[in-house]
Amino acid sequence: MTEILFYHLERASLENVLPGLLEKTLERGWKAVVRASSRERVEALDGLLWTYRDDSFLPHAAGGPHSESQPVWLTDTEEVPNEANVLFLVDGASAKPDALSAFSRCVMIFDGADEEAVMKARRFWKSAAGAGHEATYWKQSESGRWEKQG
């Protein structure tokens, strides 16, 4: 069974949230794959992870040689060359619930202001729970901390 975390963005953007979640993933000694909805978004996220903070570096790749050695892999496909423990679904990217068993954790990050994204997250919740995965819902408090809901 894979643990699935749903992060509902209301007070921050994906660009503000994703780097911190990836840092925490790497601190645990895990590898991650970030699946976006398009190659353009992958390229934008690649640029973000190089520049999001002056005093930090997130080792990652979005293609090229030695992809299996990268702790963070950015893609718009189902490839997982780095044997990631965590799958991040961003910008409307999806996964089949039966494919999640390859991961310890799946993190779906969705924009609460986008009704289509909210509906897609609800459908994914139902299908993932129906497949036996444990799902939790996280929302930012007014102070900016992530809090588990329900």
CATH number for the domain that contains residue 124? 3.40.50.10110
pLDDT digits over 110-138, tens only?
999 999 999 999 999 999 999 999 999 99
Q: Is residue 120 part of a domain?
A: yes
Q: Is residue 31 part of a domain?
A: yes
Residue 71 backbone phi and psi in degrees, to 5: -70, -25
Q: Which residue(s) pair with 110 in the sheet?
A: 8
Q: Is residue 76 part of a domain?
A: no
Residue 119 backbone phi and psi in degrees, to 5: -65, -40
Q: Which residue(s) pair with 88 in the sheet?
A: 34, 107
Q: Is residue 145 part of a domain?
A: yes
Q: What percent of the chain has pLDDT over 90?
A: 81
Q: Is residue 92 part of a domain?
A: no
Q: Which residue(s) pair with 61 in the sheet?
A: 73
Residues 6+ apart with CB under 8 A from 21: 7, 88, 107, 109
Q: Is residue 134 part of a domain?
A: yes
Domain count, the chain: 1
Domain that holds residue 54: 3-66+98-149
Q: Is residue 93 part of a domain?
A: no
Q: What is the pTM (predicted TM-score) of this model?
A: 0.95
Q: Is residue 138 part of a domain?
A: yes
- 150: pLDDT confidence band, cut at 50, 70 and 90? low
pLDDT digits over 49-64, tens only?
998 888 877 899 998 7
Q: Which two tokens stand for residue 112?
A: 């609460």
